[in-house]
């Protein structure tokens, strides 16, 4: 199934409530699920707002279908390992929750089924309102696709956004956020840092946060990348080095100990009014605008991430859900019905209102979204993202450990950006060489 093309002939324009009859088609969720009533579907969820939103909506699905969704909750740091162990052992998971950097690993190990295969196997489960073209192309392709094949449908979708404290900026004489990274450092940085307050915080803890939120966020807008066209390291290029050196220079306007900041510390510092600006995932919007969790809720505004010399290359993150190949046939069909329902047009508005971030273009065209300040910035960001913001091949879990180690050493000043980039490059190329990319055994796909 080629990206962005499947089911185009069945895409419709009407949006139907869950379980409602599709006029002229005779399809309903209740009827489609009837053969699978009583089936239990095992799925991994993360401890994040997007999953809490789906969980809150689940009673309607379970009542309509008779299908039981068994949620296994993990923090992000454990989710990959727990799923890999389950799939290697031929375990119980029926739905794979796939970070965009895991998609190559899951697809190449045949742990998940192509969506076209699932739909061909269970044609009566296919909702004529699926409308695949309603997903943002970048998000569908990056999160759910691998090597020209769609496997999963996007869920819990993120773009990096600039969250800023309008009140702090106005007090410093600014009438809006910085448009460029250079302005953030050179103009806003000095004006907003002092007396225990900081202009900016870049979450940089030594885990995937260091690789994705910190390291990758700085190389792309300056024209850099992890790899060149031949899959050799591009980290010593002038552009990549400019981004990594910029990160070092920007640290003077960040809190002390920023290398230990994960999302929680960064979002909390902003929510308490100690940090004027953060670049964080769209999924944290509900946290910083709720008076229950934010002391600056009335001052929060959202903009796209600043641009660099290479333009706006915002952080891209998020997940898809795909049907597990190890599930039996009833579980596969029930799993697909659940995935289709959770990511549907019909449920996108409720998902948004409960704190999730849907990947459906249509929901962002609806009226009454004034309370969701992040929407314009999000829509703009999803026009400019880079699918390979982090390479999505199966070797990324090994490479990210290298980036985390040496990226942290750079920030701590234990090595220069050149020394760190050389170490990462040599080790990264060794991993790729052993995997067979340079011998031609594997295609240069990321």
Give pLDDT tens digits for 54-69.
Answer: 999 999 999 999 999 9
Q: Is residue 6 pLDDT above 50, yes or no?
A: no
CA 75-275-382 angle, 5° bins: 60
- What average pLDDT score do residues 63-80 get? 96
pLDDT computed for residue 372 by the predictor:
87
- CA end-to-end span of the chain, whole Å? 18
pLDDT computed for residue 17 by the predictor:
33
Got the DSSP string for 395-428? THHHHHHHHHHHHHHHHHTSS-HHHHHHHHHHHH
Q: Is the pTM of this model over 0.85?
A: no
- What average pLDDT score do residues 175-195 get? 98
Q: How many residues does the chain have?
A: 446
Q: Is residue 131 pLDDT above 90, yes or no?
A: yes
Q: Taking a C-beta distance cutoff of 8 angstroms, is the pair 276, 253 a contact?
A: no
Higher pLDDT, 23 or 332: 332
- Residues facing 45 on adjacent strands: 73
Tokens read off for 312? 């706006």
Residue from 346, 384, 305 nearest 138 by CA: 384
Report in angstroms the alpha-carbon separations of 20 from 32, 127, 128: 12, 11, 12
Helices (DSSP H) in 304-395: which residue ranges? Answer: 329-342, 345-353, 375-381
Q: What would the pLDDT profile of 186-216 be if each residue is shown by its tens digit?
A: 999 999 999 999 999 999 999 999 999 999 9
Q: Is residue 439 pLDDT above 60, yes or no?
A: yes
């Amino acid at each position: 199934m080629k990206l962005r093309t499947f089911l185009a002939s069945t895409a419709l324009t009407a949006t139907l409530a869950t379980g409602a009859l599709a006029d002229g088609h005779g399809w309903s969720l209740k009827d489609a699920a009837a053969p699978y009533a009583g089936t239990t579907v095992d799925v991994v969820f993360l401890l994040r707002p997007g999953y809490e939103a789906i969980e809150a909506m689940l009673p309607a699905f379970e009542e309509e279908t008779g299908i039981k969704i068994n949620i296994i909750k993990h923090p992000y740091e454990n989710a990959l390992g727990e799923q890999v162990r389950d799939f290697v052992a031929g375990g119980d998971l029926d739905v794979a929750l796939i970070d965009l950097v895991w998609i190559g690993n899951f697809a190449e190990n045949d742990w998940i089924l192509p969506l076209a295969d699932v739909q061909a196997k269970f044609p009566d489960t296919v909702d004529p309102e699926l409308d695949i073209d309603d997903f943002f192309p970048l998000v569908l392709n990056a999160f759910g696709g691998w090597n020209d094949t769609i496997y999963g449908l996007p869920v819990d979708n993120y773009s990096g956004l600039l969250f800023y404290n309008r009140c702090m900026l106005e007090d410093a004489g600014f009438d809006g956020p910085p448009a460029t990274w250079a302005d953030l450092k050179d103009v806003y940085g000095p004006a907003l840092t002092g007396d225990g307050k900081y202009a900016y915080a870049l979450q940089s803890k030594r885990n995937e946060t260091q690789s994705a939120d910190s390291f990758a966020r700085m190389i792309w807008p300056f024209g850099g990348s992890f790899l060149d066209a031949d899959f050799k390291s591009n980290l010593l290029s002038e552009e990549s080095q400019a981004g990594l050196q910029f990160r070092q220079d920007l640290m003077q306007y960040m809190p002390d100990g920023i290398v230990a900041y994960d999302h929680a510390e960064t979002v909390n510092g902003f929510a308490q009014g100690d940090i004027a600006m953060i670049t964080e995932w769209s999924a944290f919007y509900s946290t910083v605008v709720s008076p229950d969790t934010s002391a600056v809720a009335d001052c929060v505004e959202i903009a796209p991430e600043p641009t660099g010399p290479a333009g706006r290359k915002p952080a891209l993150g998020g997940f898809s859900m795909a049907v597990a190949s190890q599930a039996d046939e009833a579980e596969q069909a029930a799993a697909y019905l659940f995935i289709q329902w959770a990511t549907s047009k019909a449920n996108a508005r409720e998902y948004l209102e409960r704190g999730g971030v849907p990947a459906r273009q249509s929901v962002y065209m609806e009226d009454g979204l004034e309370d969701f300040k992040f929407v314009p910035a999000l829509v703009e960001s999803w026009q400019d993202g880079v699918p390979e913001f982090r390479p999505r091949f199966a070797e990324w879990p090994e490479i990210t450990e290298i980036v985390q180690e040496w990226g942290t050493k750079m920030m701590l000043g234990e090595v220069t950006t050149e020394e760190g980039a050389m170490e990462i490059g040599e080790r990264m190329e060794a991993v790729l060489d052993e995997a067979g990319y340079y011998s031609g055994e594997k295609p240069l796909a990321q």
